[in-house]
Amino acid sequence: ETMTVLLVSGVFVVLTASVTAEQMLSLGWRDIAFVAVLLFAVRPLTIALSSLGTELTLKEKLLIGWIAPRGVVAVAVSGLFATALSTLGIEDGARLAPLAFLIVLSTVVLHGFSIGPLSRALGLTMKSPPGVLIVGGGRFARGLAERIQELELPVMIADRNWNRLRLAREARIPVYYGEILSEAAEHHVDFARFGHLVAATDNDAYNALVCTDFGPEIGRSNCYQIGRTDHQGPDRARISFTLGGRTLVDGAPSLDELEARLSSGWTFQKTRLTEEYTYQRFREERGDTPLVLFVAKPGGRLVFATAKGEIKADPGDTIVAIGPGRLGGEAPAPEDASIPAAPLP
């Protein structure tokens, strides 16, 4: 994939180097009209015909018809064809290379400046901040997903075990039944909606594999796994530092430990900070017992708590944590909500 990017980039460098200023100045209104017909008629018509029978909406077809592939192969061979045509004595053969350059230049400039406004005008942009993809079902995943849903952010739970998705299905949380690393998942899951990944299975090595696979797409700093303990024990038992994601929750409790605490009465709790009720006061009153999972910033941005990261929360932020029991209403400004422990599937 990296070689493809380098080679394609090299094609445009070579094409540009082979075009002179005199050749570009020789282009007239007929060439400009040709580019206009290509952009506004030929390409949209091609997309309309090729998308017949698909589930694409009219707005999606309009966007694709405008921002369509620019034909790298045609650009790559234009210089070769131009030389061959000129050798055969065809007068306009020398104009092929500058014309191809004009098409590339026009599409890059026009599409680059128009894709944002056009997408917004057609209502095809993402209306909410990126959500969270949770890999692994169970109590913890269900509770975390419900808290994220309350923030009106996209969330999905994926698991290969249908029974472990039962709690999520009962709570009407979107689920994906199957292997999240499979090619089928790439065709059925819109990963563009998610800006964070939480690997919450009981297999530490699988969690590391999932985070490593999604790292290039989501960003390794946005991939988290439950209870990463590979830094302990002998060297031969450790997973490479370059693999896996960041450890979620200070103290690195395992999934079994988290779900055992939920079974013993711990609940998911949500607290909104104010000017009077700051994060420092939150810690002074509740101590270190509640395990902070993430901080929701105004606007929907999520900052997950990691084992080595310092939590920074400001007035107006919402803290989501798990702690023992349901907190009382004595705190000046907390908004607490609890999820009772559900029976095992």
Entry pTM? 0.69
Total domain count for the chain?
2
pLDDT digits (tens, 9 = 90+) for 309-319: 678 889 999 99
Q: Which of 280, 306, 296, 299 is nearest to 335 (CA)?
A: 296
Same domain, 109 and 140: no
Same domain, 149 and 73: no
Same domain, 210 and 317: yes
Same domain, 35 and 100: yes
Domain of 190, CATH number, reads 3.40.50.720
Per-residue confidence (pLDDT) for residue 283, from 0 to 100: 86
3-state DSSP of 131-173 = EEEEECCCHHHHHHHHHHHHCCCCEEEEECCCHHHHHHHHCCC
Per-residue confidence (pLDDT) for residue 338, from 0 to 100: 43
Same domain, 315 and 183: yes
Same domain, 13 and 137: no
Domain boundary residue, one of 121, 148, 171: 121
Q: Which of 220, 240, 222 is nearest to 230 (CA)?
A: 240
- Residue 337: inside a domain, yes or no? no
Same domain, 155 and 266: yes
- Categorize the per-residue pLDDT at 233 as very low, low, confident or very high, splitting at 50, 70 and 90: low
Where in the sequence is the domain holding 19, given as residue range(s)?
Answer: 2-121
pLDDT digits (tens, 9 = 90+) for 46-100: 899 998 988 889 999 999 988 876 666 667 777 777 777 777 878 777 777 778 8
Across 4-18, 154-168, 246-260, 316-330, the highest mean pLDDT is recorded for 154-168
